[in-house]
Structure 1
Amino acid sequence: MFKSFSSLIFFNMLIMGTIISICSNSWLGAWMGLEINLLSFIPLLNNIKNSLSTESSLKYFLVQALASSILLFIIIIMSLLDSSLFFFNMKMYLYLILNMSLLMKMGAAPFHFWFPEMMEGLSWLMSLMLMTWQKIAPMILIMYCMINNFMMIIIILSIFFGSIGGLNQTSLRKLMAYSSINHVGWMIASSMISQMYWLIYFSLYSFMTTSIILFFHKMNVFYINQVFNMLNAYPIMKFMLFCNFLSLGGLPPFMGFIPKWMVIQNFMDNIPMLILMVMLTLLTLYYYLRITYSAFMINYTIQKFNMNYNLSFNFILLMNFISTFGLIMMMFIFYLL
């Protein structure tokens, strides 16, 4: 991942920018942390010298710069109009625009237009950073000024576009991008319950995504047919990987069902909203099940890759095993306790 000492410096700046944002006691300090995070992530995106990574880094910079400029504009207005009568009358609208800029930064619907296309030009490790770490600061900042009615609309739109967009996708990166958009909706729903619920959901989502992405990175695959061809001679590995897909979709009894289960239990007082969320998520499970059915039931005779087992690959298999059977393991532990 780090091909030079400068890449390591940019990675440390990336972490520092996120920490500054979430630990700041003012909106201006949070904006500065987001800018440090942006300026350190751009060189990491452009680390691989090809046209796709350059295009993706340019898209990311333009979108993030637009969102940052809107965020700074609202922060300046809020500081100038503080404690005035006009501010109290316009407070709801200012927070609404503030939420929009933060939602654009993390790629939530309907501000997700840049996310899948940008993912298509990135390496797997940079895609992993974009789907996990880069969502932390905007998500925590949204919790400080969340408008519940507006967030209900964002939740439905994120789950809807994340489910519809993944249909008929053959690119694994776009498939993971739309899955990330879908999970953003559920993460926002968990943040409306409490910060602890969001932390649990985000941790489990990051673990499941990391286990899948590291496998794709190790095998250097980017399309579904490559996965089908390479895993034909390794049935256990095929089973682990595609069960991990089902876990990411939230199908019981896999570990990915745990965070959705928590959100469902706490949204029982809003049944129409809950039914809509679950029904839209079933579309995500549909295309995951369709891919899994094709992998398990169709025999692919062509093998394009030879895999060598080593320590890193065994670690990836262990992560996939935990992600697949995490719910069963936790229930067994709780039963013993």
Structure 2
Amino acid sequence: MSVSNLIFFSMLVLGPFISLTSCSWILCWVGMEISFLGLIPLLLIGNKTLSKESSMKLFCMQALGSAFILVGGLVVFSLKGLDSFYAVVIMYGLILKLGLFPGHFWVISVLFGLDLVSMSVVLGPLKIPPLLFLSEMMMIYPNMSEFMFALCGITAIQGAILGLNQTNTRAMLAASSIVHAGWLGISCVSGSLWVYFSIYVTSVYFCLSFMWVEDSFSASLSLLSLSGLPPFFMFLAKFSVIQCLLQNLHSPMWLILPLLGSVISLVFYLKFFYSYHISSKRNSNLPGLALGFVILNSGAVWFFFTG
């Protein structure tokens, strides 16, 4: 690994770490920017025109979101202006960064043009600082929780509908990330953020890894895992969100749209599962890998409910 690549990789790791350990909103914002600056060279490695176009779109959206957060944060936190308008400005910046409705319009076109490594960074570490910021905003402005529930429910529905029209796996994963972004937003309010995020990122990385090694049979199972059906990992994540939401005495009504979005998204998950399944080579290694993947997921569910 060259020195420059090592520096940029360190920035990718350092940014989320700064955001997670900071006691100041401005340091959290700086962490977001450091992690994104570390990602830019990785995005531009590919020679494909589509990859560079996606990189520019991602840069524009993230920069715009950062500008909203900085302007709103200066008024709300530094100048002590607790005007709800500027809180909404911050929220919109976070919505753009996370791909929540109505700032979800860039997600599919950007992820469609990225390679699997870049996708893994955008869907994983890059989400940590804005999710942390959103979680803190929900603690400072608890009266905005219903507004966030409504946006996240619409996000889940919108992502599911967009996923129905996709024929490319990366575009489908982008639509899936919109659905899960809705659930992540709800988890920021309910208090189960890191449980959901950890399980989601693990499931996505399983899927991208199997796609990277062109293991179609295991990739088909990992795609199905993202749907949240038992006995897969994502079932635990959604169950924890529902449980925390009800324990915090929020209305069950707010679960209707996210659950409906999950049901609709089953259509494209099953479509791609079937497509990968019938195209698998079925060599001697595939059943063993797939069986191990299912046992791991089933064991996690069993441990969760009995441990």
> Which TM-score band (shorter chain)?
0.7 to 0.9
1:247 maps to what in 2?
225
8 Å CA contact 1:256–1:323 kept in 2: the answer is no
Gaps of 5+ in 2: 139-143
Q: Cα–Cα, structure 1 residues 149 and 336, in superposed 2: closer, same or farther, change >3 Å? A: closer
**Deviation at residue 295 of structure 1 after TM alignment:** 5.3
Counterparts of 2:196 and 2:293 in 1: how far apart (Å)?
A: 13
Within the alignment, does 1:199 sit opposite 2:194 as a pair?
Answer: yes
1:329 maps to what in 2?
299
8 Å CA contact 1:46–1:53 kept in 2: the answer is yes
Counterparts of 1:212 and 1:277 in 2: how far apart (Å)?
A: 22
**Deviation at residue 193 of structure 1 after TM alignment:** 1.8
What amino acid is aligned across from residue 175 of structure 1 in structure 2? M
**Deviation at residue 121 of structure 1 after TM alignment:** 1.4
Secondary structure of 2:157's aligned partner: helix
Q: Cα–Cα, structure 1 residues 336 and 308, in superposed 2: closer, same or farther, change >3 Å? A: closer
Q: Cα–Cα, structure 1 residues 121 and 323, in superposed 2: closer, same or farther, change >3 Å? A: same
For the pair shown, the structure with the greater C-alpha radius of gyration is 1
Percent identity reads 32
Within the alignment, does 1:116 sit opposite 2:111 as a pair?
Answer: no
1:49 maps to what in 2?
47
Counterparts of 1:209 and 1:283 in 2: how far apart (Å)?
A: 19
Question: When the two structures are aligned, how many residues end up with a matched partner?
Answer: 299
What amino acid is aligned across from residue 254 of structure 1 in structure 2? F
**Deviation at residue 326 of structure 1 after TM alignment:** 3.9
8 Å CA contact 2:65–2:94 kept in 1: the answer is yes
1:78 maps to what in 2?
76
Counterparts of 1:150 and 1:334 in 2: how far apart (Å)?
A: 31
Structure 2 length normalisation: TM-score? 0.87
Question: How do residues 1-337 of structure 1 correspond to structure 2 at under 5 angstroms?
Answer: 4-78=2-76, 81-82=79-80, 87-88=81-82, 90=83, 92-146=84-138, 147-194=144-191, 197-219=192-214, 231=216, 238=217, 240-268=218-246, 269-293=250-274, 324-330=294-300, 332-333=302-303
**Deviation at residue 256 of structure 1 after TM alignment:** 1.8
CA RMSD of aligned residues (A): 2.8
Gaps of 5+ in 1: 220-229, 232-237
8 Å CA contact 1:161–1:182 kept in 2: the answer is yes
Structure 1 length normalisation: TM-score? 0.80
8 Å CA contact 2:154–2:257 kept in 1: the answer is no
2:141 maps to what in 1?
none
8 Å CA contact 2:155–2:179 kept in 1: the answer is yes
Counterparts of 1:191 and 1:261 in 2: how far apart (Å)?
A: 15
- Decide which moves more: 8-17 or 268-277: 268-277
